[in-house]
């Protein structure tokens, strides 16, 4: 059997909206669409408050090309999906193609702040590669197959045989599997005969790009490694809310490397070596550009995942700038029935209020801000209503919606509503093969 190594890293995608996964898009991609013009979307668009209400911190298995997890694999999930976001903002993270005769060694590194695992259906494996908690195994150094702690890695081994030709899902199987699968922590493995691999689309790297990257990776291999910080033991307590918020902000800054690990931050950010930096920047840019469609005589491979996306929403649905005395702020139009809690961004949760949006409510409401309260603290508006805050106090204040559970979304490949979901562009007469994965666990 030929051994093939696959490198997956569990990573978060902050502020992911299944109706607008990527903010930096260029035509033909247009997100926040509903081409079926469902209720509330009669103009074919999804309003801003709904785009925000569907946001969550997504989790994915991102595939890398090297054992140091430095260079992400940029290939699209569906080459012919003209709506697919780049690998940086994509759910699920990857689809792996294998062939009979492969011995797959899937190295899973946990870059999240909670433990996770990896569980694959369909292929043959030993008990050390099952990954379903609490039936895992433990290595001599204390790592577990069913509980990969933040910063740790586990290697799962699978044998690919003739009988396993087909499409198989994988997903996190640590404790609360519903919650993490519903954040995007799943993917697919497709076993194809050798000859079918020739027609798989590949990422259009510029000439010499791959060669140069491989050379740099090779040089880096010889370099002495910085001592790894001992990964924090599982069950040693959750991160504080502040540490979590700091971690979130750090990952949102989008810089590769540079930042020093913050106190309380469970995951060490691997520092991107300077030599690689321009290549990774170029890779991201290329992945944002439209890519050539597969040739007419090639079969289109279309892996499609049905699933839900639900989880914690960190990004506020509404938020003012700091308001000087006498200043005011008007919310966006609220199009969804919901209750939003908010606080003063300057003085914190001791100044709190709520906005309830319900059909039949008034179209406007005014809230007076004084030192140190919102008056009235709780207001109700109708659909398409707006709230205006006026700072009547002597101090500066602000209005920040405090987040909570998101509005759950039914998705195809991490995206919701026609116009955002996969849009397959094929040549007349071209054959399409659909691989359909049902990851809808029906748990909420
Ligand atoms: Cu205040």
- Ligand 1 geometric centre to CA of 356 (Å): 21
The protein residues having their C-beta less than 5 angstroms from ligand 1 (an ion) are 344, 346-347, 351, 397
Distance 348 CA to ligand 1 centre (A): 7
- C-alpha to C-alpha distances, 90 to 70, 94, 222, 393, 425, nearest whole angstrom: 18, 9, 33, 45, 19
Compute the half-sphere exposure of residue 129: CA atoms within 13 Å on the CB side of its CA.
18
Widest pairwise Cα distance in the chain: 75
Spans of all domains in the chain: 2-201+294-309+409-438, 317-402
The C-alpha angle 273, 277, 279, rounded to 5 degrees, equals: 125
Rg (CA), the chain: 24
What is the whole-number distance in angstroms between the Cα of residue 52 and the centre of ligand 1? Answer: 24
Axis crossing angle, helix 209-222 with helix 277-288, rounded to the nearest 10: 150
Distance 380 CA to ligand 1 centre (A): 21
| pLDDT score at 27 | 81
Which three-class secondary structure state does DSSP give residue 39?
Answer: coil
- What is the pLDDT at residue 149? 97
What is the 441 CA–ligand 1 centroid distance (Å)? 42
b (16+ CB within 10 A) / e for 263-292: eebbbebeebbeebeebbeebbebbbeebe
Distance 16 CA to ligand 1 centre (A): 29
Strand pairing class (364-370; 328-330): unpaired
For the chain, counts of helices (H) and of strands (E): 6, 21
* In contact, 203 and 74? CB cutoff 8 Å: yes
Tokens describing residue 263: 């106190």
> What is the reported pLDDT for 228?
45
CB 406 within 8 A of CB 54: yes
Q: What is the pLDDT of residue 234?
A: 64
pLDDT of res. 224: 63
Q: Given this model, what pLDDT does residue 340 score?
A: 96
Q: How far apart are CA 337 and CA 241, in angstroms?
A: 28
| Residue 254 falls in which region: left (phi positive, over 0), alpha (psi -120 to 50) or beta | left
Bond from prior residue into 266 cis (ω within 30 degrees of 0): no
Considering the segment(s) 2-201+294-309+409-438 as one domain, its CATH architecture is Sandwich (2.60)
For residue 279, give the H/E element and its range: helix 277-288
CA dist 44 and 41 (Å) reads: 5
Ligand 1 mean position to 344 CA, how many Å? 5
Q: What secondary structure, in 3-state letters, does 192-261 show?
A: CCHHHHCCCCCCCCCCCHHHHHHHHHHHHHHCCCCCCCCCCCCCCCCCCHHHHHHHHHHHHCCCCCCCCC
Per-residue pLDDT at 263: 32
Q: How long is the chain? A: 444
Neighbours of 243 (CB within 10 A): 16
Whole-angstrom Cα distance, residue 288 to residue 277?
A: 17
- What is the 347 CA–ligand 1 centroid distance (Å)? 4
Tell me how far the alpha carbon of residue 51 lies from the centroid of ligand 1, in angstroms: 27
One digit per residue, the tens of pLDDT, for the chain of length 444 reads 799 999 999 999 999 999 999 988 888 899 999 999 999 999 999 999 999 999 999 999 999 999 999 999 999 999 999 999 999 999 999 999 999 999 999 999 999 999 999 999 999 999 999 999 999 999 999 999 999 999 999 999 999 999 999 999 999 999 988 899 999 999 999 999 999 998 899 999 999 999 999 999 999 887 765 544 444 456 544 433 333 333 333 333 333 333 333 333 323 345 788 899 999 999 999 999 888 899 999 999 999 999 999 999 988 999 999 999 999 999 999 999 999 999 999 999 999 999 999 999 999 999 999 999 999 999 999 999 999 999 999 999 999 999 999 999 999 999 999 999 999 999 999 999 999 999 998 754
> Using CA of residue 407, residue 413, residue 417, residue 421, what is the dihedral sign?
positive
β-pair type (166-171, 119-120): antiparallel
């Amino acid at each position: 059997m030929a051994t093939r190594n696959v490198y997956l890293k569990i990573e978060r995608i902050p502020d992911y909206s299944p109706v607008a996964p990527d903010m930096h898009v260029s035509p033909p991609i247009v997100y926040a669409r509903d081409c079926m013009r469902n209720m509330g979307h009669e103009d074919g668009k999804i309003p801003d408050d709904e785009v925000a209400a569907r946001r969550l911190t997504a989790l994915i298995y991102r595939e890398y090309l090297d054992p140091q997890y430095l260079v992400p694999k940029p290939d699209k999930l569906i080459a012919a999906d003209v709506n697919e976001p780049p690998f940086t903002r994509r759910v699920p993270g990857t689809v792996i193609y294998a062939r009979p005769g492969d011995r797959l060694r899937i190295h899973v590194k946990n870059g999240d702040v909670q433990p996770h695992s990896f569980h694959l259906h369909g292929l043959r494996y030993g008990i050390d590669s099952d990954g379903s908690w609490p039936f895992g195994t433990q290595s001599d150094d204390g790592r577990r197959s069913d509980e990969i702690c933040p910063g740790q890695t586990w290697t799962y081994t699978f044998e690919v045989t003739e009988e396993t030709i087909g499409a198989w899902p994988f997903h996190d199987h640590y404790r609360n599997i519903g919650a993490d699968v519903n954040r995007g922590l799943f993917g697919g493995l497709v076993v194809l005969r050798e000859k079918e691999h020739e027609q798989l689309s590949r990422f259009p790297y510029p000439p010499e790009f791959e060669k140069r990257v491989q050379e740099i990776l090779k040089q880096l291999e010889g370099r002495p490694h910085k001592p790894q910080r001992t990964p924090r033991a599982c069950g040693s307590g959750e991160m504080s809310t502040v540490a979590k918020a700091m971690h979130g902000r750090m990952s949102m800054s989008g810089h590769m490397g540079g930042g020093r690990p913050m106190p309380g931050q469970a995951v060490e950010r691997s520092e991107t070596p300077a030599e690689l930096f321009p290549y990774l920047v170029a890779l991201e840019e290329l992945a944002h550009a439209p890519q050539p469609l597969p040739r007419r005589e090639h079969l289109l491979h279309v892996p499609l995942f049905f699933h839900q996306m639900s989880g914690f929403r960190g990004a506020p649905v509404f938020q003012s700038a700091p308001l000087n005395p006498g200043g005011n702020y008007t919310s966006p139009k609220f199009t969804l029935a919901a209750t939003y809690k908010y606080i003063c961004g300057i003085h914190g949760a001791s100044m709190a209020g709520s906005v309830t949006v319900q059909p039949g409510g008034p179209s406007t409401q005014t809230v007076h801000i004084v030192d140190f309260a919102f008056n009235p603290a709780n207001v109700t508006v109708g659909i398409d209503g707006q709230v205006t805050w006026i700072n009547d106090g002597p101090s500066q204040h602000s209005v920040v919606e405090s987040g909570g559970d998101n509005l759950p979304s039914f998705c195809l490949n991490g995206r919701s509503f026609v116009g955002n979901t996969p849009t397959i562009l094929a040549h007349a007469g071209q054959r399409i093969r659909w691989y359909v994965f049902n990851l809808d666990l029906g748990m909420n």
